Amino acid sequence: MERTRPSVVWIHGWGQSPRVWDQSYRWLPDARHSLFTYADCDSVGQMRSRLHQTVSGLTGPVYVIGWSLGGMLALEMVLDSWESGLRTAPNPGDFHCRIERLVLVGATLRFVAEDRASGWPERVVRRMRSQLADKPRETLQKFAESMFSERERRNQEVVVAQMSAAGADTDFTPGGLDTGLAYLAKTDLTQRWQSFIRSRETGGEDKSGKARIAAPQMLWLHGEEDPICPAGALQAVPASMKVLFPGAGHAPFWTEPDRFAEQLRRIAHEHQ
């Protein structure tokens, strides 16, 4: 029996736009694609609600591919579902339980950290919020340019320029940009993630012995030299669940398209 075509949701990161996926979604030609947008979202609550609505309207196997901030929002949604302990989703509001594949690109469990090898200092995020209020376009441009590794800057000037230009076309509202930075500054999913991993290792039961809802298969795709979300932040992610791209920065789908596409095709093939 032939499987239903998968539905894929692509969620971009802070300060960017759905344009960043213009090439990527073509690597899965047999899927139905939905490009998430932050348009008109001035709060994290509105972003979460938009993501819920986007996923709930899909049919067939659902794959979610979240980059950076988008990855954190997607992971948070999955952890919410897992923690609810639901076995099934009889209520349409429980749509996120249907996600079968979650791909986290350049994402992290905690954006802010004292150790620069694991995250950004909180003072840097505060400064960005202040600069954003005074010089929004310059702040977005600088952030976009900072996504690349030293090797990428030397060897891929055209790609760097294209990615920076895409950042200038953000679909975030001014309020959404600020609230997105606030979310990155305060969100820490580490403990929730560790509980999730422990549960998987013990057969997926909670403390009462009740089986939890099956979680989606997860894969972390990350640049080994990511200056935005350092790879050092992924120590809590099992090696079997992550693929590191040597020499790559924060946007491996742009700078390592062949290797990135190979991982996506492998995921789709394994699910057929």
Kindly tell me if the per-residue pLDDT of 153 is higher than 90. no
- Which comes out higher in pLDDT, residue 164 or 97? 164
pLDDT per position as a tens digit, 43-55: 999 999 999 999 9
Looking from the CA of 65 toward its CB, the CA atoms found within 13 Å total: 28
Stated pTM of the model: 0.90
> In the prediction, which pLDDT does 214 show?
64
- Of the pLDDT bands very low, low, confident and very high (cuts 50, 70, 90), residue 187 is very high
What's the mean per-residue pLDDT of the chain? 86
Considering the chain, what percentage of its residues have pLDDT values greater than 70? 84
- Which comes out higher in pLDDT, residue 82 or 26? 26
> At residue 261, what is the residue type?
A
Average pLDDT on 131-135 reads 92
Integer Rg of the chain from CA: 18
CB 228 within 8 A of CB 142: no
Two tokens, residue 258: 């062949």
Q: What share of the chain is helix, strand, coil (3-state, %, to 5)?
A: 50, 15, 35
The C-alpha atoms of residue 231 and residue 23 are separated, in whole angstroms, by 24
DSSP for residue 18? G
Burial pattern 77-105, b for ≥16 Cβ within 10 A else e, equals: bbbebbeeeeeeeeeeebbbbbbbbbbbb
> In the prediction, which pLDDT does 114 show?
87
The C-alpha atoms of residue 224 and residue 263 are separated, in whole angstroms, by 16
pLDDT per position as a tens digit, 214-246: 678 899 999 999 999 999 999 999 999 999 999
Average pLDDT on 98-110 reads 93
Q: Assign 68 to helix, strand or coil.
A: coil
Kindly tell me if the per-residue pLDDT of 87 is higher than 50. no
